[in-house]
Structure 1
Amino acid sequence: MQNKTLAVVDFDNTLFDWVHVWYSCFNAMMQEVELITGLSVEDLADEIRPVHQEHGTSEYAFLLEALPSLKPFLGEKAASEVFSKAIRAFRSTRKKELRLYPTVADTLLRIKGAGSRIAIYTESQSFYSFYRLKRLGLDGVVDRIYTPPDHEVPEDFIANGGRHYSRNFYHLRHTEHHHTPVGELKPNPHLLSQILTDFDVAKSEAVYIGDSRQKDVAMATDAGVDYAWAAYGEAQDTHKYELLKLVTHWTDDDVQRENEIRSRKVNADIILEKEMSQIFEHYKFAEYQQ
């Protein structure tokens, strides 16, 4: 086995179950919204999708303020006041359900302990990725995180005391942050190659770990980088995924692009079937030389 000095990993559904966390939090919030307004998520879906599409994420934190059908319930009050129970349901569920997959923490610490470097490359925006990185205890374990730029924050959010946590919580203390170019998405082998260039690491010294064959494995293959397919995190077509599709931020163009990506047949030779720690059956990690 070759020594690796850099592990580049996907975040969502590779380090934690993003689909489960998203569904649990969103569903808990919308159930409370229905109790307050009598409007179900199905009633509001046609308004939710355009908002998510406008901001490029199905995690838009200011969704309730933006839905036309909810504005009559606000009056002169802020959404954080009228829908406080819904927001608390979201946050309490997130705190309960957000956790790393089994063996992920030990695997990352073992890689780090060998002196190797770790980078996360995700398509989730930085505002949401930073929260998860800190809450999961990975600020400092991960050396760098690469994310797309954030959507804009409503002008009156901070002015009205909208922050739930202290200002410092919204910033990373130890992990470096790099933005990926606007509009650049996986599978983009040039972006992966750029990450290796940033670390000044040869392709032979890096390994990429991700849950999607069509995006992660294909990207690493095209970039000439060794990979491990995190099959344990592959999203399944469950009722959770059905809700996601109902309110998705994907546009028709996004769906077409995704279908084109999925049409490519990708074989994965290195498979982490059960858990992330299986990476050590295929690769060894050594000290990174800057």
Structure 2
Amino acid sequence: MTVDRRLLILDLDNTLYDWVSSFVPAAYAMIEKASEILQVSIDQVVDELKVVNQRHGDTEHPQAIFEIASALRQFMDAPEIAKALEPSVVCFQDTNAHLLQLYPGVKEKLEDANRSGVTMVAYTDARVASSLSRVNFLGLRPYLTQLFTPDQRVSPYMMRSSDREFVSVLPHDERKPNPAALLDICRRCNVTPDKALYVGDSLVRDIYMAKQAGILSAWARYGTTFDPGLWTKLVAITHWTEIDVLKEAQVRERAGTVMPDVVLDRFSDLRLTH
């Protein structure tokens, strides 16, 4: 199916790259190193890290390992903790850098869309520090005119002046699956919703949201195929609370059997004209 659209709104994680298969092994490389340094079990580090992540409302901040209870008990102050556990953070960074890569055909398809005059933006719920780092690391910045992310009231990211025009902060409540976020993005890009296409991997949080906004949707089905064991490991350290899980279940119920307009088995399956 060839789609005539002026604006392409792209989810990032598990749509342009396999986030689960890069982040989770990196997080557990950090956990295993911290377990070795602190001489406590991996399970204990996992449990303590989850507590810290829930306190911050974020799973993607490796320095959270500096705040786990075992570290606070063994060392006198923050500088001592950071010095002792820095090797664990290095393990995270090295593993993540080794595994994080674009899905096959992504860069070539973005280049084609760029040549066709299609405006491309990214929309993510991830915090700016994490999402912007991945965008830059993977060389996505030349293809994207803007990165849209919700306002982060906890631990706001101090952007460099060169990033301020590229990163657009949405109101805090414009998080997935709130369709107001996509409509807001269209307004800011001066494009009507009928001329936009949204691509994402989650039927509930991405496709359902696009449907509610009246925007054509493409489901990145390939983004749902990863080792289920990695998902179990992610849930063990995630910041999601029981309330978050309940809200997710409610969204799933509302979404029902949502059907995307386009199904992609590879990102390169996307056909765009302008």
Per the TM superposition, whether the score is higher than 0.5 is yes
The aligned runs of 1:115-264 (5 Å cut-off) are: 115-150=117-152, 151-152=154-155, 176-234=166-224, 236=226, 238-263=228-253, 264=256
RMSD of aligned Cα (Å): 2.2
Q: Where does residue 68 of structure 2 map in the other structure?
A: 67
Equivalent position SS for 2:197: strand
C-alpha separation between the residues in 2 aligned to 1:57 and 1:127?
A: 11
Equivalent position SS for 1:130: helix
Q: Where does residue 257 of structure 2 map in the other structure?
A: 265
C-alpha separation between the residues in 1 aligned to 2:225 and 2:80?
A: 36
Change (3 A) 1:127 1:96: same
C-alpha separation between the residues in 1 aligned to 2:41 and 2:149?
A: 32
Q: Where does residue 12 of structure 2 map in the other structure?
A: 11
Equivalent position SS for 1:271: strand
Q: Where does residue 25 of structure 2 map in the other structure?
A: 24
Of 95, 98, 123 in structure 2, the residue corresponding to residue 96 of structure 1 is 98
Please give the per-residue CA displacement for 1:59-91, whole angstroms capped at 9, x wherever unaligned: 123212211211233335433310122111111
Question: Quick check: 1:13–1:235 contact (8 Å CA) kept in 2?
Answer: no
Change (3 A) 1:40 1:175: farther
Q: TM-score, normalised by structure 1?
A: 0.86
Q: Which runs of 5+ in 1 are unaligned?
A: 155-166
Of 258, 261, 267 in structure 2, the residue corresponding to residue 276 of structure 1 is 267
Please give the per-residue CA displacement for 1:7-38, whole angstroms capped at 9, x wherever unaligned: 00101110111111111110111111111122
Structure with more helix by fraction: 2
C-alpha separation between the residues in 2 aligned to 1:97 and 1:240?
A: 14
Q: Where does residue 53 of structure 1 map in the other structure?
A: 54
Q: Which runs of 5+ in 2 are unaligned?
A: none
Please give the per-residue CA displacement for 1:81-123, whole angstroms capped at 9, x wherever unaligned: 1012211111111111111111111111111111111111101
Change (3 A) 1:171 1:232: farther
Change (3 A) 1:53 1:83: same
Q: Where does residue 164 of structure 1 map in the other structure?
A: none
Deviation at 1:53? Answer: 1.6
Question: Quick check: 2:20–2:226 contact (8 Å CA) kept in 1?
Answer: no
Question: Quick check: 2:196–2:215 contact (8 Å CA) kept in 1?
Answer: yes
- 2:29 equivalent to 1:41: no
Deviation at 1:3? Answer: 2.1
C-alpha separation between the residues in 2 aligned to 1:102 and 1:171?
A: 32
C-alpha separation between the residues in 2 aligned to 1:60 and 1:256?
A: 24
Deviation at 1:50? Answer: 2.5
Equivalent position SS for 1:256: helix
More deviation, 139-148/43-52: 43-52
Equivalent position SS for 2:198: strand
C-alpha separation between the residues in 2 aligned to 1:78 and 1:15?
A: 38
Equivalent position SS for 1:140: helix
Question: Quick check: 1:207–1:227 contact (8 Å CA) kept in 2?
Answer: yes
C-alpha separation between the residues in 1 aligned to 2:73 and 2:155?
A: 24
Deviation at 1:46? Answer: 3.2
Please give the per-residue CA displacement for 1:227-265, whole angstroms capped at 9, x wherever unaligned: 110000026571111111111111111100111122322
Question: Quick check: 1:53–1:249 contact (8 Å CA) kept in 2?
Answer: yes
How many aligned positions are there? 269
Question: Quick check: 2:16–2:102 contact (8 Å CA) kept in 1?
Answer: yes
Change (3 A) 1:172 1:78: farther
